[in-house]
Amino acid sequence: MRLILIGFGAVGQGFAKLLHEKANNLRATVGFEASIVGVATATRGNLYCADGLDIPALLSAAEAGSFASYPAGASLQRDLSVTDMIAPGAADALLELSPTNLETAQPALETCYRALDAGMHLVLANKGPVALHYADLGARAGACGLQMRCEATVMAGTPTMQLAQEALAGCQIQSARGILNGTTNYILTQMESGESYHAALEKAQALGYAEADPSGDVDGWDAAGKLLILANALFGSRLTMGDLQVSGIGGIGADDINLAREQNQRYKLIAQASPSGGMVKAMRLPVSDPLASVGGATNAITLETDLLGAITLIGAGAGSRETGAALLADLLAIQRCQCNQADASA
């Protein structure tokens, strides 16, 4: 599978490292072989090589801050724009990993449509296009015989979308409630240990949990974007941001955390949605509430279903490696589907 990556920040680099580390194992166990043929970034430059880019060299160049240091090669192209790179036949799948824009979803949305027109499957970690245009992207992909997958957009590699859409197929999901932002959960957990808000936020950025603009995390918009994705994917709703009440953790200080502790409570940024709407809000939970014990960048979600009652999933919610794992899982799912189709037509 030949891949083009749009964006090569923490998530793109985490994914590239995983792909490199696991290449032999994936080939031997599931016959999966992938090469990164193109990378386009806002600050480091662009690279395209139809024979595949060298991942260690790509990672070194990214660390040095510019693809100018990537070694020259006969078929290497450095001057292709994103638009020119996404040409029919240039790759099998496009991974949209650029920073999220939850107001317009651009420029990623146009990139996604262009990739579908060029015959590429879509795999997204960027939440904007899926939060705002889930149904349309899915329909366009389906009409072209392609897949649009977005496991990385909610709870990193913890398989929320696969659980809801594949393992719980046949169940009606009535509501979703949980902790959907790793950065704020990490900050609240660190504050409980006496760290300041700003020191904890800086650490969350250094650990690769926070968005490029962390106000999206602390003000609740990242969790709200994830709720929209879940509402679209789980309930078939077409909710918009206007259907959600959103607030963040900005007003919570050390005194609030200490007072809550004295009363056997903990602050958590809770996101919840039903088919008709939802909210993101910092709440004090009794320590006996299972969500109160979910600490650090870990996330959790409880899905209320008609056939199985409540199903709760707890796992990594952010991080370069953890999100890279979701991209890999989506690519493997695309490969499984292609194999099934090939078997069916044989």
Give catalytic residues, as residue numbers.
226
CA distance 135 to 137: 6
Applying CB under 6 A, the span of 71-79, 204-212, 235-243, 336-344 interacting with ligand HSE comes to 204-212
Contact mark string toward ligand HSE, 318..337, x via CB under 6 A: x-------------------
Residues of this chain, 140-179, that bind ligand HSE according to CB under 6 A: 156
Sites for ligand HSE among residues 21-80 (CB under 6 A): none
Q: What is the rounded distance in angstroms from the CA atom of residue 230 to the CA atom of residue 154?
A: 8
Print the binding letters for residues 276-295 with ligand HSE: x by CB under 6 A, - otherwise: --------------------
Strands 2-6 and 35-40: parallel
User: What is the Cα 234 distance to its own chain's centre?
Assistant: 16
Nearer to ligand HSE (CB atom), residue 90 or residue 156? 156
The least distance separating ligand HSE from the CB of residue 317, rounded to whole angstroms, comes to 5
Q: Which backbone phi and psi does 52 adopt, to 5 degrees?
A: 105, 140
Nearest to 65 by CA among 36, 45, 95, 81: 45
Rounded Cα–Cα distance for residues 281 and 268 (Å): 8
Q: Which of 70, 209, 221, 267 binds ligand HSE (CB under 6 A)?
A: 209
**Is residue 13 involved in binding ligand HSE (CB under 6 A)?**
no
**From candidates 182, 248, 296, 324, binder to ligand HSE by CB under 6 A:** 182
Instruction: Give residues with Cβ within 8 angstroms of 330, minimum separation 6.
Output: 123, 149, 150, 151, 152
317 sits near ligand HSE (criterion: CB under 6 A): yes
Task: Name the residue nearer to ligand HSE (CB basis): 93 or 224.
Answer: 224
Of the pair 47, 176, the CB lying nearest ligand HSE is at 176
Q: Are 249 and 282 in contact (CB under 8 A)?
A: yes
Of 91 and 152, which CB lies nearer to ligand HSE in the complex structure?
A: 152
Segment lying near ligand HSE (by CB under 6 A), choices 82-90, 129-137, 207-215, 307-315: 207-215
What's the min distance (Å) between Cβ of 332 and ligand HSE?
20
Identify which of residues 35 and 299 has a Cβ nearer to ligand HSE in the complex. Answer: 299
Nearest to 13 by CA among 52, 51, 65: 65
Q: Binding ligand HSE by CB under 6 A: which of 4, 222, 229, 301?
A: 222
What 3-state class would DSSP assign to 138? Answer: helix
Give start and end residues of each alpha helix (H) in the chain. 10-30, 55-64, 82-85, 108-117, 127-143, 160-162, 182-192, 197-206, 215-218, 221-235, 254-262, 320-345
User: How many residues bind ligand HSE, per CB under 6 A?
Assistant: 11
Under rule CB under 6 A, residue 131 binds ligand HSE: no
Residue 69, sorted as left (phi over 0), alpha (psi -120 to 50) or beta, turns out to be alpha
Contacts of residues 307-311 at CB distance under 8 Å and 24 or more positions apart, as own/partner, are: 307/170, 307/171, 307/172, 308/168, 308/171, 311/163, 311/168
Tell me: does residue 95 bind ligand HSE (CB under 6 A): no
Q: In the complex, what is the shortest distance from the CB of residue 18 to ligand HSE, in angstroms, rounded to a whole number?
A: 16
CB of 156 vs ligand HSE, minimal distance in Å: 6
Q: List residues binding ligand HSE (CB under 6 A).
A: 156, 181-183, 209-211, 217, 222, 317-318
